[in-house]
Amino acid sequence: MGLLFVAPWLHLKEAAYESDEDRRIAKPWIERPIDFGKIKSKVKETRVIIATEDPYVPIEDSKIFEEKLAALVNII
């Protein structure tokens, strides 16, 4: 089994927050710990597709997926 992430985020750029409601909605997603070891043990291959000019997702998050899940990262 494999896993494909498209524009995945662990953090968001300031532009993602148009209102306090946006911050409230994103907060539990950002603050919840992720068990990368458990994910890695369940999948054989992980791929990430991320854009350099995404106004909401920091490109630096791709490094986390690469390090924690040994993901193959495609930057477009």
Structural domains of the chain, ranges and CATH numbers in brackets: 2-75 (3.40.50.1820)
Whether the predicted pLDDT of 55 surpasses 90: yes
Whether the predicted pLDDT of 1 surpasses 90: no
Cα 5–chain centre separation: 7
Mean pLDDT of 6-15: 94
pLDDT value at residue 63: 95
Q: Give the predicted TM-score (pTM) of the model.
A: 0.83
DSSP β-bridge partners for residue 72? 47
Cβ contact 16:23 at 8 Å: no
Q: What is the mean pLDDT of the chain?
A: 94
Whether the predicted pLDDT of 26 surpasses 90: yes
